[in-house]
Amino acid sequence: MKTVLITGCSSGYGLETARYFHAHGWNVIATMRTPRKDLLPNSPRMHVVALDVTQPGSIASALEASGPIDVLVNNAGIGLFGAFEVTPMATVREVFEANTFGVMAMIQAVLPQFRTCQSGVIVNVTSSATLAPFPLVAAYTASKMAIEGFTGSLALELEAFNLRVKLIEPGYAPSTRFTENGQERMQGLISEPYLPFAQSCFAALSQLSAVTHESDVAEAVWRAVHDESGTLRFAAGADAVALTQMK
């Protein structure tokens, strides 16, 4: 039985991906900063482990508790909507710590095991913001674009050890807690003179007919984990697929 470790499982894509892999017979290590076992199936194949990807000690403890794994899914991250002009650099660094450096730290921590075993898959979840420019997410997009470039290079670097590295690019998912989870961080980042522009952007988003659902991402992760064709990028959601085709 194979084991997958998924970061950021308290809601959204991570939670749905943990449920999906469990339903397909895998042993799942579902990690989150504040563990909540009630969110996931009560099963000997489901293990909820505390993990903060921005803290090296937390990463070490989580991996020790998890034991050997076959797949790492880097899903944990934080969102940020707001005008860049008024975004404190401390907030920008907070976003990069979670979305960029946290991913890198997790990979660096699991690579010795994967390399020794000559087996393993790494899946990094980014965003459709990397497929086309979107307003009011400049810092967030930068944190995800960094992982796009990093992942492409790393995939080539690890081929010699029979390790596969993949990217998942989810589209816009209004049903997730992306905005809700970042309310405090985004306080005051959309105000005059950017407010009218922001309101028009939100109105446009509310009219979208093609969006992404959590299940789209879970299924894309599943495909990526089992892909041996050398494909690097997997768009998740109707809108992300459309952007990929346009690109």
pLDDT value of position 129: 92
> Is position 140 annotated as part of the catalytic site?
yes
Tell me how far the alpha carbon of residue 85 is from its chain's centroid. Answer: 26
CB of 27 closer than 8 Å to CB of 21: no
Q: What domain range includes position 221?
A: 3-246
pLDDT value of position 192: 78
Q: Measured between alpha carbons, how far is 12 from 218 in angstroms, rounded to an integer? A: 10
* Confidence check: pLDDT of 238 > 70: yes
Q: Measured between alpha carbons, how far is 217 from 169 in angstroms, rounded to an integer? A: 8
Select the more confidently predicted residue: 239 or 71.
Answer: 71
* Confidence check: pLDDT of 9 > 70: yes
Percent above pLDDT 90 for the chain: 77
pLDDT value of position 105: 98
* Confidence check: pLDDT of 176 > 70: no
* Interval 13-32 mean pLDDT: 98
179 — pLDDT class (breaks 50, 70, 90): low
Bridge partners (DSSP) of residue 233 are: 167
pLDDT value of position 30: 98
In the chain, the number of structural domains is 1
* Confidence check: pLDDT of 181 > 60: no
pTM of the predicted protein model: 0.93
187 — pLDDT class (breaks 50, 70, 90): low
Active-site hit among 13, 20, 140, 172: 140
Give the tens place of pLDDT for each residue, 92-103: 999 999 999 999
Tell me how far the alpha carbon of residue 217 is from its chain's centroid. Answer: 10
Would you say how long the chain is, in residues? 247
Domain containing residue 209: CATH number: 3.40.50.720
Residues 6+ apart with CB under 8 A from 78: 94, 95, 98, 99, 181, 182, 185
Strand order of the β-sheet with 233-236 is: 46-50, 27-32, 3-6, 71-74, 120-125, 163-170, 233-236
Structure-token match 């920008």, residue found: 92
pLDDT value of position 73: 98
* Interval 85-89 mean pLDDT: 94
* Interval 25-32 mean pLDDT: 98
Q: Measured between alpha carbons, how far is 78 from 238 in angstroms, rounded to an integer? A: 22
pLDDT value of position 199: 87
